Amino acid sequence: MAKGSVYIPEVDLPNLHKYKYSGTDKSLLSRYVLCHYWNNLVKVFPMWMAPNLITFLGFCFVLVNFATLLYYDPTLEKESPAWVYYSYGLGLWIYASLDAIDGKQARRTGQSGPLGELFDHGCDSLNTTIEMVIASSVFGLGRTWWTVVIVWVGLFNFYLSTMEEYHTGTLYLGYFSGPVEGITISCLLYALTGYVGQSVWFTDYKQLLPLPASLADHLPDGALNHSFVVFGLVAMLPNLINSIHNVYEARSRAGKPFLPALVTVLPFVVASALGYLWLDASPALLHQHLVSFFVFITFGFGYTVGRMIVAHVTKAPFPLVNVMFIPLLLGAANAQLARFGLPHLLTQANEHYMVYAAVAYAAVVYLHFAHTVVDQICDYLDIWCFRIKHKKTM
């Protein structure tokens, strides 16, 4: 019998047996187009292949994409060779394809369970930051607030969907605003960039749209890449309203108060505020070390989402606070103190050491969490993570 840990107390382990996946996918693209592709793709994989191994294989393509970015465009300000943009689209498409069929493989092999959801969502949470940084490179947003905003939009949408699933017990995917549509559009835009060149994204959007002169004169000027960021912000609002509505309905049906559920948005809000205070007071961090900062965010967000998923599958209280706040708090405090000429730890010239320390800290904490939780669940449920221990009986 598995012992409890700081992540899953022993008293919560029996709830793993109560887990049952529930999802509502209203995506028209998934239902009428991609489902046929996925149903045939899963048949390529042998019955002895564990679903989590398929998930991890797909995530390896994301890591290859990120390594390519670090080699060709570590500043997010250079144009890469055309094949790089094609590879970004291909890598993302392969990742999304394998991510879509790991659940089908789990049902084929009788391996559905809480570990699969944790592993799947864990990889998705890491991919969210990485993919937004890659998009910033493709669209030429550079190490600017535009990149910060587009990453923040992606993270907030993912956080909302995870929070919503915790409270409702169901993963909701909309008709047009789900990850399938976003990934498909991203792959097409990456391919387009490889074909026509990155310069297309610096064009004024009004030159590319068939707008009447009378209307165009009243619209603000703006590069096409910046327009994408603004569109992402606007498109986020319906997702926010829909998530809050779904949580409200679920809490009402269960006879529970709504306000405590609404409070679970606060961890993201607080982390966002601390991140803003750090970046705003440190131009060097924003314009020189932004990619390193987002590596820290990748691990930090993955840890935060992981704790939420663990709480969901074990029916534990929502984790409002976690240790990933510490680097953000220290960084923000140091930068703000320096801004006002008060005693601080590091100057802007040496602040990159704090960023590197934050990356190392977050990586160690996240890897310890992932290893501990996976090992604990596998031990308690008597399963393996990357191999099928108990084969499906016909």
d(CA 243, CA 279): 29
Is there a contact between 139 and 228 (Cβ–Cβ < 8 Å)? yes
Helix axes 224-253, 145-168, angle to 10 degrees: 20
Helices (H), the chain: 28-29, 35-41, 51-72, 82-109, 114-138, 145-168, 179-196, 205-208, 213-216, 224-253, 259-262, 266-280, 283-288, 290-314, 325-339, 351-381
Residues 112/113/115/118 CA torsion (nearest 10 deg): 90
Catalytic choice (17, 36, 121, 245)? 121
Q: In angstroms, what CA-CA distances link 381 with 1, 52, 130, 372? A: 9, 15, 32, 14
Half-sphere exposure (CA, 13 Å, Cβ side) for 36? 4
Residue 379 backbone phi and psi in degrees, to 5: -65, -45
Is there a contact between 127 and 62 (Cβ–Cβ < 8 Å)? yes
d(CA 40, CA 62): 23
**Angle at the Cα of 354 (from 65 to 79), degrees rounded to 5?**
30
d(CA 273, CA 278): 9
For the chain, the residue count is 394
Is there a contact between 6 and 310 (Cβ–Cβ < 8 Å)? no
Active site residue 245: no
**Angle at the Cα of 93 (from 87 to 99), degrees rounded to 5?**
135
Q: In angstroms, what CA-CA distances link 226 with 189, 230, 368? A: 15, 6, 38
Just list the catalytic residues. 121
